[in-house]
């Protein structure tokens, strides 16, 4: 698996002239990553709206089952069947547990105490934790010093957000913010272990995972929340259906498409893209203001993740171009090019 991912990452990172479809891969990275960032940026503002009148467990179960139903209908139209063997469902169950069920339960609970804009920034640190896990534990992809510096910058931004909030609220939101960070580590692990699913169609993986996640939470929803007694608002119902279709169904399918094509660290770059989109949506949909500490943390996180996701040859090419220009300027008369 590692051997198959390495060529994809190098194709995306370096643009040497090659007739095998390099421009296509590069174009696909922009399209898929931007689409994924847009889908997942809406998650936290919509969750904030939904949990106003729908309990977290019921909310997550409902959106997962809505998403799974949509994907299963599309798969049926495409003539593709969901695998029935135990090995496939074991992988789907493991992946859904660390990529959605546990982290989204944690985040949904935490969002009762943390503004959606802060949640977006904290959850967008996934690339940083993915880099650290890759560098220290799995070492399945190259991790450069520039990416290491980016990881520390991003962590510094996270510390600024949490640290200054502690001074303002005497630790009132610190537990919730730490829970979001733990969920983010779970997301990061999922982008690494999700590589085991490369033999399956991304839509099949998304459908199977979401179906498992929705069904595993359904008994808890029925026993604890008694959903038939709930009186959700129209806005909450719109939020759960929108999240089911946009964030869960389309978003998770795009996530596995990117993961299979681009690998762990490059896929996680969409976390950088969804920070400004998510914060903007929180301001537009919820009327939230961006406090000064959030803005500073946002800046550090964006710089850190941007540095961490620079393609392998991108930094070296920039330095080489700069050196070439300097060499051209040194001998004054020879300015031909």
What does each C-alpha distance from 332 to 146, 323, 326, 329 come to in angstroms? 34, 16, 11, 6
Question: What is the Cα–Cα distance from 306 to 68, expressed in whole angstroms?
Answer: 33
Task: Assess contact for 276 and 57: CB atoms under 8 A.
Answer: no
pLDDT at 198: 83
Helix, strand or coil for residue 247? helix
| Radius of gyration of the CA atoms of the chain, in A | 21
What does each C-alpha distance from 41 to 151, 278, 310 come to in angstroms? 21, 4, 21
* pLDDT over 70 percentage in the chain: 72
Over residues 11-68, the pLDDT tens digits come to 333 333 333 233 344 445 557 777 887 888 778 788 888 888 999 899 999 999 999 9
pLDDT at 331: 53
Average pLDDT over residues 305-313: 66
């Amino acid at each position: 698996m590692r051997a198959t991912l390495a060529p994809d990452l190098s194709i995306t990172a370096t643009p040497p002239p090659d007739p095998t479809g390099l421009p296509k891969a590069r174009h696909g990275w922009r399209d898929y990553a931007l689409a994924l960032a847009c889908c997942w940026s809406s998650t936290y503002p919509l969750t904030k709206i939904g949990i106003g009148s729908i309990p977290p467990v019921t909310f997550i179960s409902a959106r997962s089952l809505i998403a799974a139903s949509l994907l299963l209908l599309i798969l049926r139209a495409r003539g593709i069947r969901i695998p029935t063997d135990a090995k496939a469902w074991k992988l789907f169950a493991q992946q859904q547990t660390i990529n959605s069920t546990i982290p989204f339960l944690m985040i949904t609970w935490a969002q009762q105490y943390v503004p959606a804009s802060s949640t977006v920034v904290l959850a967008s640190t996934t690339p940083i934790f993915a880099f650290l896990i890759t560098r220290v534990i799995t070492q399945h992809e190259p991790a450069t010093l520039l990416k290491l510096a980016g990881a520390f910058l991003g962590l510094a931004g996270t510390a600024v957000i949490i640290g200054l909030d502690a001074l303002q609220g005497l630790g009132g939101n610190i537990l919730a913010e730490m829970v979001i960070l733990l969920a983010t580590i779970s997301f990061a692990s999922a982008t690494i272990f999700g590589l085991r699913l490369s033999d399956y169609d991304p839509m099949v993986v998304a459908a199977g995972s979401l179906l498992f996640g929705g069904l595993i939470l359904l008994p808890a929803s029925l026993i604890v929340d008694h959903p038939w007694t709930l009186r959700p608002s129209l806005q909450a119902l719109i939020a759960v259906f929108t999240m089911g279709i946009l964030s869960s169904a389309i978003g998770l399918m795009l996530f596995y498409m990117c993961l299979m094509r681009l690998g762990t660290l490059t896929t996680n770059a969409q976390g950088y893209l969804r920070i400004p989109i998510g914060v903007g949506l929180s301001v537009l949909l919820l009327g939230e203001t961006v406090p000064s500490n959030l803005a500073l943390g946002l800046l550090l996180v964006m710089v850190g993740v941007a540095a961490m996701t620079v393609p392998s040859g991108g930094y070296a090419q920039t330095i080489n171009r700069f050196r070439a220009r300097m060499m051209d300027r040194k001998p004054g008369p020879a300015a031909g090019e």
